[in-house]
Amino acid sequence: MTHVVNWVGQVMPVREIADMAHAHGIEVIVDGAHSFGLIDFKIPDLHCDYFGTSLHKFLSAPIGSGMMWVKRDHIEKLWPLTCYGDPHSKDIRKFEALGTRSFPIEQGIGEAINFHEAIGSKRKQERIFYLKNYWATRVKEIPGVKLHTSLDPRFSCAISGVSIEGITPNQLMTTLFDRYKIHTVGIDYEGVRCIRVTPHVYTRIADLDKFVSAMSEIAANRKA
């Protein structure tokens, strides 16, 4: 299951679902691409069996880096995809038998961890949630604008989906970038039609004010 849905930022109740799955003998794999380095949590507390994440997102490590966590008693039964002398090893390092690879990327992970720990995961989550709510509470008051994400801290953090009536996600995404140099991601899948907006710790209030102003102008001009 996905920990944080990448389309609109919905935080899923992973622990509760994992406990329900285990009651029926089902193992749980968690996609934590948008939660790791953002939400203040410990992987074992999710009660999942496997956890994977991209480290270049909220941890801000180099692109091309990732992490796999496996519950200790499951390691032995998993075979690595690449050749390894003892595929039944209980050592999780068997999954790192990748041959020649970019060591600068791995060194960059260490610096990203240092930066993350210097801030603190709880402060980081609170800061980014504040930034999300800063712009979201303002644009939702603009006529024609719709939020697709809860502002309750139990259900969301950094990511929020937003749309303007009468404008497709691609049109809104393109207009924001071409006219205002604001990068967003258009989402048009499975009935979800919005743009994804994601501030990070380094996002300035002035940048969010610019976004709110841009959304107001675009929404007003659609009626012209």
DSSP string covering 153-222, please? TTT-SS-EEEEETTS-HHHHHHHHHHHH----EEEEETTEEEEEE---TT--HHHHHHHHHHHHHHHHHT
pLDDT digit string (tens) for 94-124? 998 877 888 899 999 999 999 999 999 999 9
Question: Residue 223 pLDDT more than 70?
Answer: no
Taking residues 150-164, report their average pLDDT.
96
Question: Residue 79 pLDDT more than 70?
Answer: yes
Model pLDDT, residue 82: 82
To which H or E segment does residue 51 belong?
A: strand 50-54
Q: Where are the domains of the chain?
A: 14-119, 121-221
Q: Identify the CATH number of the domain defined by range 14-119.
A: 3.40.640.10
Model pLDDT, residue 85: 87
3-state secondary structure of 67: strand
The structure tokens listed for 99 are 């041959």
pLDDT digit string (tens) for 8-28? 999 999 999 999 999 999 999
Gap between the Cα atoms of 178 and 189, Å rounded: 23
pLDDT digit string (tens) for 169-214? 999 999 999 999 999 999 999 999 999 999 999 999 999 999 999 9
> What CATH fold (topology level) applies to the domain 121-221?
Aspartate Aminotransferase, domain 1 (3.90.1150)
Gap between the Cα atoms of 147 and 137, Å rounded: 9
